[in-house]
Amino acid sequence: MKWAPLVALAALGLVAGCGKGNFSQKANESKLNVFRYSIIPSPTSLDPGMVQDGDTIDAIQQTFEGLVGWGIDNKPTPILAEKWEVSPDGKTYTFTIKKDLKFSSGNPVTAEDFKACIERNCEKSFSSPTAETYLSDIVGVREKVSGKATEIEGIKVVDPLTLTITIDKPRPYFLGKLTYPIAFVFDRKALANSGKEMRDVKEMIGTGPYLLTKFVPEQVLEFKANKDYHGGAPKIDGIQRPVVKDAAQRLQMFRNGELDLVQLERQDLKGVDDDAKLKPQLKLFNRPAMW
């Protein structure tokens, strides 16, 4: 994992917060209290088991979370896990899940949910493009992905709030892999068919600070605040992510006050730097990324 720089224009009054590489803790001065930030490619999937591109991952982290995430110290930090312990041989991780966690639907989050969600994502028939890449260190994942096993041997539910994950050999980077969406938890009761990819926003129920309320391919994603979020109610009421592929159009929308933050292309930097009105709004954000 490394820090990936994001050069952007941020509207004056936009207050930077800390978190898991997202903008859920920004304060916004707009009357609607909605943070508007374009997404460049239209997501091909919003299912944690299918998503691959960085921009979409950035978006769905508002709705879905996992046991761990990246902290500002460049190290894995607890998100839905209260803590974890590693066995002396470095192969078994015991996660204690936070008490009283709930999905935005109100359903409780248990260790069984993590096991079931990972196993669903590793089903041969589901054909996740990322399961083997990020989870194959876990004992039994390769067998599950290939259809040779019905469950993953290395994932055990000890009790409702305790989960163990055993990997094939000590790997210092393993926790980093669990920050990827393939290991996120979701409300299985909301799925129309657990073996099929999520396509309806009604199925996309997680534990994150925002609920996905609207997705129109090639147009927009919209989120509303989860007032019962375990990390505290978000400071803004909603997030709007219009799909804007053209860099010049994104910059013009920012000039027009239609966006609160816009990612800049290298070729735009000089023009912005020479613009007395825009230059004070030029910001460099660091966000965690794995490659």
d(CA 54, CA 25): 19
Quote the mean pLDDT of the chain: 88
Position 202 scores a pLDDT of 96
Residues 54-59 have a mean pLDDT of 91
Q: What is the CA radius of gyration of the chain?
A: 20
Position 283 scores a pLDDT of 74
Question: What would the pLDDT profile of 116-171 be if each residue is shown by its tens digit?
Answer: 999 999 999 999 999 999 999 999 999 999 999 999 999 999 999 999 999 999 99
Q: Which of 1-10, 69-78, 115-124, 176-185 has the lowest mean pLDDT?
A: 1-10
Burial class (CB in 10 A: 0-12, 13-18, 19+), 42: middle
Phi first, then psi, for residue 125 (nearest 5°) are: -70, -20
Residues 194-200 have a mean pLDDT of 94
d(CA 233, CA 208): 10
Question: What would the pLDDT profile of 63-88 be if each residue is shown by its tens digit?
Answer: 999 999 998 888 999 999 999 999 99
d(CA 81, CA 78): 5
Question: What would the pLDDT profile of 141-155 be if each residue is shown by its tens digit?
Answer: 999 999 999 999 999
All domains in the chain, ordered by first residue: 2-289 (3.40.190.10)
Position 5 scores a pLDDT of 46
Q: What is the pTM of this model?
A: 0.87
